[in-house]
Amino acid sequence: MPETPHSAAVTTTDHGAVRVITVNRPDKLNALNAATLDALQAAFDAAAADAGVRCVVLTGAGSKAFVAGADISEMNTLTPVQGRDFSLRGQRLMRRVEKMPKPVIAMINGFALGGGLELAMCCHLRVAADSARVGQPEVNLGLIPGFGGTQRLLRLAGRAATLELCLLGAPIDAARARELGIVNRVVAAGELQAETMKLAAQLAASAPLALRGVIDCVNVGGECGIEEGLEYETAQFGLMFSTDDMREGTDAFLERRKPAFNGR
């Protein structure tokens, strides 16, 4: 499949209805600098707008790293105001990914540290190679997570694990990350791409509007009280009855055939 560069640092490749977005800085272990954050923002904007894309897989180039963190050589020169702006730039990207109307899978092929783990956590699902290592090591640089790490890790793994990872700054292996709920699945490194693409193909064949409804409900419910979350879920549930996909899905079930969803 032909690659589409959004900059030298980010490329995209389509596999049917699945778009693979790759951070392409293997010589820097795919570290996130300002230009890479902007290129990722553009790549996710394009995927959201493309009706032919039903699922996105995010990964890093090479075998060593998904994303090994933010680019320390760039951060080293920042003033306090520039540091805050860099954090806001990263936060905008993370929220963009988190609120994507299509499922996003992080394919964690190596180190996912600092900004890399923050980027993986804002994806909807995470599949990690058994050789991968994840963590929030910012304290070792005299910093704290700046792209949402304290907040998303808290929601995924709880207070104790968040404090352990952020205060100690030590990475953990994929198996431990799975135990804590930070990643959904751990597979052999040699099977990572095949297993992730299999999962992506399954999502790409599912009802797009229903998938979006689930993502929206979980995002809203994670940021409000249960009564508001239930009310939002009920509204979304009712809305599904106006879709062709709901009729197709229920007809296919009753007729004992595979549904063909069209996203309408």
Q: Which residues carry out catalysis?
A: 118, 138
Strands 133-135 and 172-173: antiparallel
Q: Which residues neighbour 49 within 8 Å (Cβ) at sequence distance 6 or greater?
A: none
Helical pair 149-157 and 159-168, crossing angle rounded to 10 deg:
140
Task: For 188, list phi and psi in degrees, rounded to 5.
Answer: -60, 140
Q: Are 48 and 102 in contact (CB under 8 A)?
A: yes
Report d(CA 69, CA 72) in Å as an integer: 8
Strands 55-60 and 104-108: parallel
Report d(CA 170, CA 117) in Å as an integer: 13
Burial state string for 146-157 with b = 16 or more CB within 10 A and e = fewer than 16? bbbbbebbeebb
Q: What is the DSSP string of 68-131?
A: --B-HHHHTT--HHHHHHHHHHHHHHHHHHHT-SS-EEEEE-SEEETHHHHHHHTSSEEEEETT
Report d(CA 2, CA 238) in Å as an integer: 40
Report d(CA 253, CA 6) in Å as an integer: 41
Helices first, then strands: H and E counts in the chain: 11, 11
